[in-house]
Amino acid sequence: MPIFDFVCTSCQHTFEVLVRGSQVPACPACGSEALEKQLTLPAIKTSSTHGQAMAAAKRRDKIQGAEREYTQRQYELNHDD
Ligand SMILES: [Zn+2]
């Protein structure tokens, strides 16, 4: 669940909010939706590390799948006479 830091451009109030889907957050102090999203480094690092881990896992699965296919093909070639 992504938590973002926002700064209200109307009253400069800074707050954290949990954003679900396309929900538009509003300033809890003045109710304005004129907000600027602040980039919070720890959250970006976490999601990027997670993305890289997922990509690495997918790559590994693909390589293992190709190796299995190759082994199977070699087996069939050697036992097809
Ligand atoms: Zn505000």
Q: What pLDDT, on the 0 to 100 scale, is given for residue 48?
A: 63
Cα of 33 vs centre of ligand 1, distance in Å, is: 8
* pTM of the model as a whole: 0.45
Ligand 1 ion local residues (Cβ < 5 A): 8, 10-11, 13, 27, 29-30, 32
Q: What pLDDT, on the 0 to 100 scale, is given for residue 78?
A: 87
DSSP string, the chain: --EEEEEETTT--EEEEE--TTPPP--TTT----EEEE--HHHHHHHHHHHHHHHHHHHHHHHHHHHHHHHHHHHHHHT--
Cα of 39 vs centre of ligand 1, distance in Å, is: 18
Q: What pLDDT, on the 0 to 100 scale, is given for residue 12?
A: 95
Cα of 34 vs centre of ligand 1, distance in Å, is: 8
Q: What pLDDT, on the 0 to 100 scale, is given for residue 3?
A: 83
Per-residue pLDDT tens listing for the chain (81 residues) = 678 899 999 999 999 988 887 778 899 999 999 999 887 655 555 566 777 777 888 888 888 888 888 888 888 888 876
* Residue 19, CA distances (Å) to 52, 54, 63, 66, 72 in order: 23, 23, 36, 40, 48
